[in-house]
Amino acid sequence: MSRPIFASPEAAARLLGLADGGAADKGADDAGEEGLRGRQPRAARHALRVLEYVAASGAGVTGQEISADLGLSRATTYRLIQVLTEDEYLVRLPDLRGFALGRRMAALFPPPAPRPPRAARAILDRLRAGLRGGIHLVRLDGVVHAVVDEDPDFPLVPEPGVREVVDGVCAELTAGRQPAVCVADRWTAIGATVVDEAGQVVAGLVVVAPEDRMPGAAEVDARLAPAALELGPLLA
């Protein structure tokens, strides 16, 4: 990374809720308020959860939505938003309708993975036409796992359980376990690995659907496996 995550120790101290970048405030609210001062690890976790939520929800998410969905008090939420906005990790949209990720967040992400070639997209189109559920192509050979072709008819929604099942399946595929199956809340994901000519895992085909609508694992694997073999040479 070409520059530090925080511009200065003072910026880090503000994000962690430290007074003057040093001693923690001893007057934490005793009534259960999720105060920032004196609770540095919790404050850091809350800040990361806010950034994660904004990234998943997209531009325009409001402070009220963040507070309600993350279970944070409004005071804590707006204090975090204020600090993250001051340090340009978040930005308020010009029409004041909500917030989006700021320019400083770009330093935390690697360059996006290239879009798969047309031949690979044709394979995905054929697979999606014959299998119920959202079918997504995820690159697994980078610094972070990246969805490079999201199912346009069944996109990944920011609901509880969706990210967990996708991350869980990708972790299993990266470890060489397949077919990989993960269940969380009301969602299920099933995946198959895409390997290059040397047998190295380069991507994963991941099917995501509500648990009561997901076809059987054997049926899904029977559809994914041939497509994964076709995709291997195209993605290497």
Judge if 77 and 138 occupy the same domain: no
Residues 171 and 215 in one domain: yes
Which domain does 175 fall in, by range?
118-235
Residue 166's pLDDT is what?
A: 93
pLDDT in tens, 81-125: 999 999 999 999 887 779 998 888 876 766 667 889 999 999 999
Structure tokens given for 190: 């099933």
- The SS3 assignment for 40 reads helix
Cβ atoms of residues 140 and 202 within 8 Å: yes
**Is 113 contained in some domain?**
no
154 has pLDDT over 80: yes
Residue 123 parent element (H or E): helix 118-130
Distances (CA, A) of 224 to 6, 40, 132, 207: 43, 45, 12, 9
The single residue listed with the structure tokens 């994914």 is 224
One domain for residues 92 and 149: no
**Averaged over 127-142, what is the pLDDT?**
92
Residue 225 in domain: yes
Q: What digits encode the pLDDT tens for the residues 181-212? A: 999 989 999 999 999 989 999 999 999 999 99
Is 144 a member of any domain?
yes
- In this prediction, residue 146 has a pLDDT band, given cuts at 50, 70 and 90, of confident
**Residue 86 identity (one-letter amino acid):** E
Number of domain units in the chain: 2
CATH number at residue 90: 1.10.10.10
Question: What's the confidence (pLDDT) of residue 23?
Answer: 38
The string of pLDDT tens digits covering residues 161-180 is: 898 999 999 999 998 888 79
Nearest-angstrom CA–CA distance, 57 and 97: 14
73 and 148 part of one domain? no
Q: Strand 134-139 to strand 99-101: parallel, antiparallel, or no bridges (unpaired)?
A: unpaired
What residue type is assigned to position 23 of the chain? A
Are 90 and 84 contacting, i.e. CB atoms less than 8 angstroms apart? yes
Query: pLDDT at position 172, please?
Result: 93
pLDDT in tens, 21-53: 433 334 444 434 444 455 577 888 899 999 989
